[in-house]
């Protein structure tokens, strides 16, 4: 992990198009701004983990449903 010291108004550049700017430091809280292209998703960690968990559950549910659909169903004669 890279650890950097920054003051309010200072930034960190990630890659060519993501800029993290320190907006305010107050007590034990730091406010940051993230400037990134719309194609890059930016989430708080707890939101990211919840979205990942929900996606994994959806995939598992779809796989269970697909398994049921693949079970052989007797064909009816016309």
- Residue 72: the pLDDT is 62
Domain containing 22 equals 8-39
Structure tokens at 72: 């052989």
Tens digit of pLDDT for each residue in 4-22?
999 999 999 999 999 999 9
47 domain-assigned: yes
For the chain, how many structural domains are there in total? 2
Whether the CB-CB separation of 12 and 6 falls below 8 Å is answered with: yes
Nearest to 24 by CA among 36, 9, 3: 9
Per-residue pLDDT tens listing for the chain (78 residues): 999 999 999 999 999 999 999 999 999 999 999 999 999 999 999 999 999 999 998 888 877 776 666 666 666 776
2 domain-assigned: no
75 domain-assigned: no
Whether the CB-CB separation of 33 and 55 falls below 8 Å is answered with: no
Q: How far apart are CA 35 and CA 18, in angstroms?
A: 6
Whether the CB-CB separation of 18 and 32 falls below 8 Å is answered with: no
Question: Are 45 and 34 members of one domain?
Answer: no
């Amino acid at each position: 992990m890279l650890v950097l010291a920054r003051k309010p108004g200072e930034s960190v550049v990630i890659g060519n198009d993501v800029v993290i700017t320190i907006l305010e430091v107050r007590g034990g809280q730091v406010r940051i701004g993230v400037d990134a292209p719309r194609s890059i998703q930016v989430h708080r960690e707890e939101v990211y983990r919840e979205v990942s968990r929900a996606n994994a559950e959806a995939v598992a549910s779809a796989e269970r449903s697909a398994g049921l659909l693949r079970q052989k169903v007797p064909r009816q004669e016309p």
